């Protein structure tokens, strides 16, 4: 590593460590500046310290990027067709932001604040060689996720810790701390792939995996976390099963994961069994259930609209957002707008709900071309990285930067999980979470680009 990169490496590591610290102390998203959240500073919009560090890093890096552009140095947007799709998406998003600036919508500044996080992609792709930092970034994320799992585990089983003097019970913990469990999904992805790939895994690895599964199950009412864990499990199993690797081991672990809800349910006392069934049915199926028979009956009578909409109004939201961009389908004039949407799931009241889907969100706020471009970017990335044999070729490049094979597979499984979450929610609206996301994504893209330079058929 060149000496010139050392100061930047130190800054990136410092910001990463501070973000990890805040994830443990107060991981709630930026828009939840309420009790238990790290102190904020008000500059018209509220910022906590991690956000101040990240946005300062972005502003300073943009100056360096501008100098790079003015001196006619190469600026890259990725690999293959993806770089053209990213360029198209960027052009139409910037055009819509410009229209929104003149329209002065009520949420313009808030939306620009979130969009600025996207600049981390451009910054990490072109200014900083973070490939040599990746082993440290992975360790920071991995152990931060395990700490959050441990705190959630203790909160649920009422094991007293110093941290729980602030969040003395599981309900208050889940109200203010659940976002940190997204990082725990990264730990889960790494552990699951480690157990699959290593010839012998330690009992500690299995114990930690079981602990994370328990925490996900006791957080089963938190649909985004549950969905993320499901996607990690499903994509990991699918990749290795299709590659015909350790199918017996995969089958056993799959069976244990599938049966884990039953084991947890059987281990609960009668009161907790009742609460578990009732809350799961109320949260997912929008109908009360008092025993397993009621739960099965509600499952067979699911609805996709009205008060029992299993999607919690998402299907109606998506339909409304996609249909209300038809007036300006190319360059949208909605950027900064605050739409009021009538939803049957809340009695046809008009509510100000986000789209809960990144593709739909950008279609509405940046136009159909931007939305379609984003969808193609996602599909092209998954197509490029899902095949096991191709992954091994990419890993031959990644291991030069001291990554272990299971870490590389775990990173990709985690990325699929967050992509899936972005199609029903929006975890990347959180600045510190996006910081880690773009470090991981850019590393994978650089590895793919480097590999393609060596092997034309990859």
Q: How sure is the predictor about 166, in pLDDT bands with cuts at 50, 70 and 90? A: very low
Give the C-alpha separation, 421 to 185, whole Å: 12
Model pLDDT, residue 79? 78
Q: Would you place residue 282 in the very low, low, confident or very high pLDDT band (cuts 50, 70, 90)?
A: low
- Predicted confidence (pLDDT) per residue in 108-142, tens digit: 888 888 889 999 999 999 999 888 899 999 999 99
- pTM of this structure: 0.85
40-43/341-343 β-pairing: unpaired
Q: What is the mean pLDDT of the chain?
A: 80
Domain ranges of the chain: 3-300+356-454
Cα(452)–Cα(321) distance, integer angstroms: 38
How much is the CA Rg of the chain, to the nearest whole Å? 22
pLDDT of residue 259: 65
DSSP track, 133-153: GHHHHHHHHHHHHHHHHHHHH
Phi/psi of residue 204, nearest 5 degrees: -65, -40
Tens of pLDDT, residue by residue over 212-244, are 888 887 776 677 888 898 899 888 888 877 666
- 201 neighbors 195 (Cβ within 8 angstroms): yes
Nearest Cα residue to 378 out of 360, 353, 364: 360
DSSP tally for the chain: helices H, then strands E:
19, 4
CA 337, distance to chain mean position in Å, is 25
- Using DSSP, state whether 366 is helix, strand or coil: helix
Task: Determine the Cα–Cα distance for residues 389 and 232; give it in Å rounded to an integer.
Answer: 19
At 59 the three-state DSSP class reads: helix
The pLDDT, as a whole number, for residue 190 is: 95
Cβ atoms within 10 A of the Cβ of 444, count? 19
């Amino acid at each position: 590593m060149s000496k010139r990169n050392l100061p930047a490496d130190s800054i990136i590591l410092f910001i990463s460590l501070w973000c990890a610290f805040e994830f443990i102390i107060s991981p709630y998203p930026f828009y939840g500046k309420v009790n238990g959240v790290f102190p904020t500073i008000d500059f018209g919009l509220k910022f906590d310290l991690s956000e101040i560090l990240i946005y300062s890093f972005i502003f300073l890096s943009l100056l360096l990027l501008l100098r790079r552009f003015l001196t006619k140095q190469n600026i890259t947007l990725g690999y293959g067709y993806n770089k053209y799709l990213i360029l198209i998406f960027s052009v139409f998003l910037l055009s819509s932001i410009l229209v929104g600036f003149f329209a002065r919508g009520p949420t313009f500044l808030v939306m620009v604040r979130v969009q600025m996080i996207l600049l981390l992609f451009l910054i990490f792709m072109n200014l900083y060689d973070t490939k040599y930092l990746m082993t440290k970034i992975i360790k920071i994320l991995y152990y931060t996720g395990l700490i959050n799992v441990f705190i959630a585990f203790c909160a649920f089983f009422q094991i007293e810790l110093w941290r729980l003097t602030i969040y003395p019970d599981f309900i208050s913990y889940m109200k203010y701390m659940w976002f940190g469990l997204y990082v725990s999904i990264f730990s889960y992805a790494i552990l699951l792939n480690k157990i699959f790939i290593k010839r012998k895994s330690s009992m500690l690895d299995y114990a930690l995996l079981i602990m994370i599964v328990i925490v996900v199950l006791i957080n089963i009412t938190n649909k985004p976390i549950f969905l993320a864990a499901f996607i990690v499990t499903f994509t990991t199993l699918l990749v290795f099963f299709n590659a015909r690797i350790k199918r017996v081991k995969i089958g056993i672990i799959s069976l244990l994961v599938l049966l884990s809800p039953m084991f947890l349910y059987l281990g609960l006392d009668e009161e907790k069994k009742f609460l578990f069934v009732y809350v799961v049915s109320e949260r997912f199926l929008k109908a009360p259930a008092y025993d397993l028979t009621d739960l099965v009956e509600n499952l067979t009578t699911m609805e996709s609209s009205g008060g029992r909409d299993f999607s919690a109004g998402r299907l109606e939201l998506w339909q409304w957002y996609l249909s209300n961009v038809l007036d300006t389908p190319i360059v949208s004039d909605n950027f900064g707008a605050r739409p009021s949407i009538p939803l049957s799931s809340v009695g046809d009241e008009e509510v100000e709900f986000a789209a809960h889907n990144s593709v739909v969100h950008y279609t509405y706020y940046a136009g159909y071309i931007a939305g379609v471009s984003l969808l193609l970017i996602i599909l092209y990335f998954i197509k490029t990285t899902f095949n096991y044999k191709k992954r091994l070729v990419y890993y031959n490049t990644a291991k030069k930067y001291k990554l272990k094979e299971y870490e590389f597979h775990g990173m990709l499984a985690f990325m699929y999980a967050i992509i899936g979450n972005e199609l029903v929610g929006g975890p990347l609206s959180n600045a510190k979470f996006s910081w880690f996301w773009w470090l991981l994504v850019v590393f994978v893209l650089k590895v793919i680009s480097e590999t393609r330079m060596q092997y034309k058929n990859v």
